[in-house]
Structure formats: C-alpha cells, structure tokens
C-alpha cells in the first residue's frame, strides 16, 4: 500500500479546515500502524489510524487549509479508527474479498485489561464522521481499485471500560485488533513518535520505544538531537 493514496484522499474529501505541529515521519508511522498477515491463501491487512497518523498525512498537504485540517482531526478524535481488508487469494493472485458485513462481524479490539469492543453501530456515529466515511469509499475505489473498495473502516470507542484510553500511541501499553482468530498486537508507545534510541557502545540506533539493544542486551539512551550536537 503506497502512502500517497492518503494524501490524494484527504485532498479530495469535502472538508471546509491550524495544525502547527512538529514534523512527523509519515512513512515511519505507517510502518508502525500497518500490519499484514498471510496464512495459506488468506490475506488480512489491518491499519490502525490514531490522530498522529492523520496529522502526518495532513502536514504535507497544501491543498487543504489549516482550518480544514483542524476540522478533520476534530471529527476523528472521539474514535479509535481501524481499517481492515480480509480476502482469499486465488489462482493468479485474484482476490475474493470478505463482505463489509462479514468484516464487521469478525473484527474486535482488545484493551490492555482484556476488555473486548465491537465496532460502533454506524447509526451512533457523529454526522461529520459519518459524512467522511461515506466520502471515502468512492474516492478509495478510484485511487486504489478493488483494494480501496474493500477497505472497511470501523470506529470503536476512544475510552476503555476502566476509564483510560483503549489505544494511546504515546503511552506505555498495548492493544490488540482481532480479525476472526488472528491477533494483531500493537506495542505502545509507537517508536515512530519518539526520538530514536542509541547503543552508545556500538553506535547502533533503534526505534524510540526500545529500551535495550536486542542484539547485545545493552541499555539504550536517547540519541542526541541535531541541536544538541551543535
């Protein structure tokens, strides 16, 4: 999946939209939030889309005003958003996609306490978010073909049953997306949102959510910023 389709999508959505945020690395975030699993001839793609994911995709889009970007993020903020493609891969790479109703039945998310959440009923979703979701499908179909047509966007609560957030990309923890009997576990915080860590003995760098060098076992320290090195 190429990151550019999101930029195309956001430029075409009927938003009306200031996000003075530090630059985010969209490619690194996409690597953290996108998971692909192929078991025999069955393929499942899961894409978790936290607020930082959308901020990263919006920051380089000069077709939208700052007001439109802010309104887009405001519409997304009350939800935990996950997109799923579920398909069988046949002879010659032909895909047979699970229907929207089927996907919604087999997908749940689980918080760190083991509580499960089903997708929200579309009728309970706010009007702004509902309009965005309705606009996405034809745009994605034009931009991505069959994959875009069968990418099912699902909304879940933001807050867990015990109070905190189900999936906070900036705090220690984890959450899991269940697609039938497959589990896609997200370790938090996302390394792409943190400064890189370095093994001062070897000079090797690792994502920001690593605490130890997986090869030497040495404790990692935050890499010096460019400002620190001046």
Per the CB < 8 A criterion, the answer to whether 25 and 152 are in contact is no
Spatial distance between the Cα atoms of 117 and 169, rounded to a whole number of angstroms: 18
How far apart CA 218 and CA 199 sit, in angstroms, is: 7
Given a cut of 60, is residue 11 above it in pLDDT? no
> pLDDT tier at 208 (50, 70, 90 boundaries)?
confident
Domain positions in the chain: 4-190, 194-230
Here the tokens at position 217 are 């076992």
pLDDT tens-digit profile of 151-197?
899 999 999 998 889 999 999 999 999 999 999 999 999 999 988 88
pLDDT tens for each residue of 58-117: 887 777 788 888 888 888 899 999 999 999 998 877 889 999 999 999 999 999 999 999
Task: Write down the pTM of the prediction.
Answer: 0.81
Closest by Cα among 132, 19, 126, 116 to 65: 19
């Amino acid at each position: 999946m190429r990151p550019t389709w999101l930029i195309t999508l956001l430029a075409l959505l009927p938003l009306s939209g200031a996000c003075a945020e530090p630059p985010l690395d969209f490619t690194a975030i996409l690597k953290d939030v996108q998971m692909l699993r192929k078991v025999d001839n069955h393929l499942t793609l899961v894409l978790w889309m936290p607020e930082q994911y959308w901020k990263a995709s919006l920051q380089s889009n000069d077709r939208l005003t700052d007001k439109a970007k802010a309104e887009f993020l405001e519409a997304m903020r009350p939800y935990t958003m996950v997109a799923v493609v579920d398909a069988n891969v046949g002879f010659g790479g032909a895909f047979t996609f699970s229907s929207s109703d089927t996907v919604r039945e087999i997908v749940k998310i689980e918080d760190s306490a083991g509580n499960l959440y089903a997708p929200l009923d579309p009728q309970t979703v706010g009007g702004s978010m509902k309009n965005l979701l309705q606009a996405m499908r034809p745009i994605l179909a034009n931009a991505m073909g069959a994959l875009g047509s069968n990418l099912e966007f699902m909304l879940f609560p933001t807050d867990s049953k015990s109070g905190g957030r189900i999936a906070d990309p900036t705090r220690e923890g984890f959450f899991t997306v269940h697609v039938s009997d497959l589990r896609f576990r997200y370790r938090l915080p996302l390394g792409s949102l943190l400064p890189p860590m370095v093994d001062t003995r070897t000079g090797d760098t690792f994502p920001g959510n690593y605490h130890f060098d997986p090869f030497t076992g040495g404790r990692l320290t935050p890499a010096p910023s460019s400002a620190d090195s001046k």
